[in-house]
Amino acid sequence: MADERSVRLQRLEALRERGINPYPNHVERSHTIAEVLQHFDEWLGEEHSFCLVGRIRLLREMGKIAFAHIEDGTGRIQVYFRINDLGEEAYRTVRLLDIGDFIQARGFLFYTRTGERTLHVLQFAVIAKGLRPLPEKYHGLEDIELRQRKRYLDLLANGDEVKPIFVTRSRVIRAMRRFLDERGFLEVETPILQPIYGGATARPFVTHHHALDRDLYLRIAVELYLKRLLVGGFERVYEIGRNFRNEGIDRTHNPEFTMMECYQAYADYEDMMRLTEEMIYAIALEACGTARIHYRGYEVDLTPPWPRLPLLATIEEFTGIDVNRYPDRESLAAEMRARGYEVDPALGRGRLIDELKSAMFRQGAEPLRRALFLIDYPLDVSPLAKRHRSQPNLVERFQPFLGGLEIGNAFTELNDPLDQRQRFEDQMRQRAHGDVEAQVLDEDFLEALEVGMPPTGGLGIGVDRLVMFLTDQESIRDVILFPTMRKAPNEP
């Protein structure tokens, strides 16, 4: 590539020596490529003039004529250069063009003898000279890590495959926002830099504010701030934004990710289940045109209602472990080891139950490959959820799963400030015993709860995972334009 870059630099200098600015400030464009292709027959002929812009994706120079394909954000068209039309001086500039350069071309529309729709160029200009080659046309860009690290090359080389994913992502977020807006939810913004992180079980990123001389944390969730707004009198709020968790990277986890959280006063987890299945159904119809989604070899029907499966009974069905028979961490850990499951010594009983849930889905049983809710979680894995109305050792919590992929979390929210304090204190004890992801006690949030928060249902949806499901992608990095990557060998 070094040799090709040198050649391109020489051509850049040759353009400048000819008095051509290869990076002009102003560009003219009369139509997009899609527009002229749509009306091609109507606009055919020398009496019409069009000024198009785009990147050169193919270039063939044959003596006194040359053909190129240029591409803008809407499509691709062939352009035709002829020395008799341009003149010898201008035609020499054609020989200084490279694949990847951007040009502005003015001319009329015609069909070639092979029937290809073409712009006959009467005047053109270089508007951006590319100094590095594009990925090789026919083999594309196949290195997965390079595609994720240098997304601009991935979009150029594999655009037909990659661009629709991110178009769908945009449609998903737009549809989600529309669904919530139409149901009276108010979109708000809460701090990314927080003095106390909370609202989830995760390790934070720490930064330092020099003017205030204090450490701050990138938020791991927006929950506790949105609940403060319910205390303040808003009844339906939501936020779509970035969260940051200092955790491992795998096919479903990226340290920086997009979440939607919404809270509805005077609702419970049954209300939020209905909201969730209706919202995902509506999003699929708007973003994908169907509620039957193919994901990892299975067709998943998103039509409500979805099955509600009690968590502990489902774990027993698919792992053989009746969690209720093991009331403490040690006995549950022993049973898990006896059945071949790994046991992290730093995790308490509740987190071990969560590990069993994950293992159950990793086994890939077909009944778990549909759209479903797991409901009614143990108290010790849900420090922000209200106790179950009829089963005191459980809480009113659910998680939606699509095709075996966990996409969210939701509760009947705990609004008893004294119970909440006890839960936080238990989390702090778990931290003291080595669980670095246990939640921290937030006195300001407890003070807000003491002012009074109405009965509330809350829901969080992982936007990236939802897009993974709707676009049939195996890795979260394939639905994030610029995912977090390990350090490259040439990075300082």
Residues 147, 149, 155, 160, CA torsion sign: positive
Range 222-234 average pLDDT? 97
Distances (CA, A) of 255 to 173, 189, 249, 259: 20, 20, 7, 12
Peptide bond into 305 cis (omega under 30): yes
Check: CB of residue 45 under 8 Å from CB of residue 25: no
Structure tokens given for 291: 């509620």
Check: CB of residue 107 under 8 Å from CB of residue 122: yes
In the chain, % of residues over pLDDT 90: 86
Which residues are within 8 A (CB) of 30 and not within 5 positions of it... i.e. 6 or more apart? Answer: 49, 50, 51, 52
How far is the C-alpha of 188 from the C-alpha of 461, rounded, in Å?
Answer: 16
Q: What is the pLDDT of residue 2?
A: 62
Find residue 292's DSSP bridge partners: 301
Find residue 230's DSSP bridge partners: none
How far is the C-alpha of 291 from the C-alpha of 301, rounded, in Å?
Answer: 6
How far is the C-alpha of 387 from the C-alpha of 63, rounded, in Å?
Answer: 81
* pLDDT, tens only, 381-406: 888 899 999 998 899 999 999 999 99
Largest separation between any pair of C-alpha atoms in the chain: 89
b/e code 35-59 from CB counts within 10 Å (16+ = b): ebbeeeeebeeeeeebbbbbbbeeb
How far is the C-alpha of 304 from the C-alpha of 457, rounded, in Å?
Answer: 19
* pLDDT, tens only, 142-164: 788 889 999 999 999 999 999 99
Q: With 80 as the cut, is the pLDDT of residue 407 above it?
A: yes
How far is the C-alpha of 339 from the C-alpha of 114, rounded, in Å?
Answer: 68
Predicted confidence band at 139 (pLDDT cuts at 50, 70, 90)? Answer: low
Q: With 90 as the cut, is the pLDDT of residue 201 above it?
A: no
Predicted confidence band at 438 (pLDDT cuts at 50, 70, 90)? Answer: confident
Residue, of 177 and 488, whose pLDDT is higher: 177
Q: Write the DSSP symbol of residue 363.
A: T
Ranges 238-242, 369-373, 377-381, 483-487: which has the least confidence: 377-381
The whole-model pTM stands at 0.93
* pLDDT, tens only, 75-87: 999 999 999 999 9
Mean pLDDT of the chain: 95
Predicted confidence band at 10 (pLDDT cuts at 50, 70, 90)? Answer: very high
Phi then psi for residue 80, to 5 deg, are -125, 125
The CA dihedral of 378, 240, 257, 274, to the nearest 10 degrees, is 40
In terms of Cα–Cα distance, which of 254, 197, 180 is closest to 480? 254
* N-term to C-term CA, the chain: 22
Predicted confidence band at 1 (pLDDT cuts at 50, 70, 90)? Answer: low
Which residues are within 8 A (CB) of 154 and not within 5 positions of it... i.e. 6 or more apart? Answer: 141, 146, 147, 148, 162
Q: DSSP of 427-439, one letter per residue? A: HHHHHHTT-TTSP
b/e code 215-240 from CB counts within 10 Å (16+ = b): ebbbbbbbbbbbbbbbbeeebbbbbb
In terms of Cα–Cα distance, which of 185, 176, 407, 372 is closest to 285? 176
Q: With 70 as the cut, is the pLDDT of residue 140 above it?
A: no
How far is the C-alpha of 202 from the C-alpha of 440, rounded, in Å?
Answer: 10
Looking at 210-322, which runs of residues are DSSP E strands?
A: 214-218, 236-244, 256-265, 292-295, 298-301, 308-310
Residue type at 372 in one-letter notation: L
**Residue 418: its H or E element:** helix 417-432
Q: What is the pLDDT of residue 161?
A: 94
How far is the C-alpha of 381 from the C-alpha of 379, rounded, in Å?
Answer: 6
Q: Using CB atoms within 10 A of its CB, is residue 1 exposed (0-12), middle (13-18) or buried (19+)?
A: exposed
Please report where in the chains the tokens 């995912």 appear, as a residue: 483
Check: CB of residue 223 under 8 Å from CB of residue 198: yes
* pLDDT, tens only, 50-100: 999 999 999 999 999 999 999 999 999 999 999 999 999 999 999 999 999
* pLDDT, tens only, 328-341: 999 999 999 999 99
Q: Note the helical H segments in 144-222.
A: 144-149, 151-157, 159-182
Q: Using CB atoms within 10 A of its CB, is residue 117 exposed (0-12), middle (13-18) or buried (19+)?
A: middle
* pLDDT, tens only, 298-326: 999 999 999 999 999 999 999 999 999 99
Residue, of 290 and 364, whose pLDDT is higher: 290
